[in-house]
Homo-oligomer: A and B are copies of this chain.
Amino acid sequence: MANMTDVAKLANVSTATVSRVIQNPEAVKEKTRVKVLQAIEELNYQPNILARYFRRTETKTILVVVPSIMNNVFPQMIAGIDLVANQSGYKVLLGNTYQDPEKAYSYIEELKQKQVDGMILLTTRLDNDVITDIADRYPVVLTSDFIEGLNVPTVAIDNISSSREAVEHLLRLGHCRIGMITGPLNSLLSRDRLKGYRQALLANDIAIESVLIQEGDHTYESGYNQMNKFLALEKPPTAIFAANDSMAMGAIKAVKDQNMKVPEDVAVVGFDNIQFSEIFEPALTTIAQPLIEMGKQSMELLLKQIKGDSLKKKQLVLDTKLIIRDSCGSKQV
Contact = CB atoms under 8 A, between A and B. Distances in A.
Given A50-B54, A50-B115, A51-B54, A76 B70 contact: yes
A235 B147 CA distance: 60
Interface in A97-149: 110, 112-115
A93 B50 contact: no
A79 B75 contact: no
A275 B280 CA distance: 13
B70 A113 contact: no
A79 B69 contact: yes
Contacts of A115: 49-50, 91
A96 B96 CA distance: 17
Interface string A261-295: 00000000000000110011100000000000000
Contacts of A276: 276, 279
A82 B53 contact: no
A94 interface: yes
Interface string A47-87: 01111011001010100000011101011101100110010
A93 B94 contact: yes
A46 B93 contact: no
| Identical subunits present | 2
Contact of A53 (B53, B72, B280): B53
A176 interface: no
Contacts of A78: 69, 94
A253 to B, nearest CB: 7
Contact of A54 (B54, B96, B110, B112): B54
Contacts of A94: 78, 82, 91-94
Interface residues of A, number: 40
A281 to B, nearest CB: 6
B114 A50 contact: yes
- Of listed A96, A279, A281, residue having the most chain B CB within 10 A: A279
A113 B50 CA distance: 8
A285 to B, nearest CB: 17
Interface string A151-177: 000000000000000000000000000
A249 interface: yes
B96 A82 contact: yes
A217 to B, nearest CB: 16
Contacts of A68: 79
A220 B283 CA distance: 14
Contacts of A86: 96
A72 B48 CA distance: 36
A93 B275 CA distance: 25
A54 B54 CA distance: 7
Nearest to A114: B50
B46 A112 contact: yes
A211 to B, nearest CB: 27
Interface of A: 46, 48-51, 53-54, 57, 59, 61, 68-70, 72, 74-76, 78-79, 82-83, 86, 91-94, 96, 110, 112-115, 220, 249, 253, 275-276, 279-281
Given A48-B113, A68-B79, 9 more contacts: A48-B114, A50-B59, A51-B54, A53-B54, A69-B78, A69-B79, A93-B93, A220-B279, A280-B280
